[in-house]
Amino acid sequence: MNRFLAGGIAALALAGGGLLLWQTQAQQEMELPPPPPPGEEAALNLPVAADDAPSFGPAPPTPPKAAKASREELRFNRYDRNRDEIITRTEMMSSRTNAFKKLDKDGNNLLTFEEWAAATSDRFAKADNNHDKKLTRTEFAQTRPKQSPKPKCKC
C-alpha cells in the first residue's frame, strides 16, 4: 500500500513540476531577430527571378488514380479499425457487441442459456402467426434479422 501511495505522490510531483516548467517557458517572451533592412535581400541568399521569367510554371502532375478495392478488401477494411493491416479478435467481434448487449438482459457481460433461450423463444412466438407452435416457410422467413438500410454514400 505504501508503494502505491509513494508512486502516486511521485507522479503528482512530476506532473506539478512539468506544469511549472511549462508555464515559466510560456511566460517568457521570445526575441525574434530584427528583419533585414530593405534592399539587403541578397545578403540572405534568396533566389531572384529574371526579368523575363514567366509568372507561372507548368501545372503540377496529377496524382495517380487509386485502384478500386475488391469486395474482399472492403470487407477486410471494415473490420480493420486501426488500419494496421491486421484484424484482431477485438476488432472482429466489435460488430457483434450490439447484438450481444441486446441478448444480455441483466447486463453482466455473460450470456446465459436462459437469456439466449428467452430471446429465441420470443422470436419464435412473434413469427408463429397462427399460434400452432409450428413455423411454416413464410413464418420462418420472418425470423431473419432485418437488413439495415444501406448508407447513401460510401464513406
Task: Quote the Cα angle for 58-62-68, to 5°.
Answer: 175
In whole angstroms, what separates CA 47 from the centre of its chain? 45
DSSP 55: S
On the 0-12 / 13-18 / 19+ scale of CB atoms within 10 A, 119 is middle
In this predicted structure, what is the pLDDT of residue 20?
82
pLDDT tens readout for residues 16-65: 888 888 887 777 777 777 776 666 555 567 777 788 887 777 778 888 88
Single-letter residue type at 49: A
Query: Cβ contacts of residue 18 below 8 Å, gap of 6+?
Result: none
In this predicted structure, what is the pLDDT of residue 9?
92
In this predicted structure, what is the pLDDT of residue 124?
79
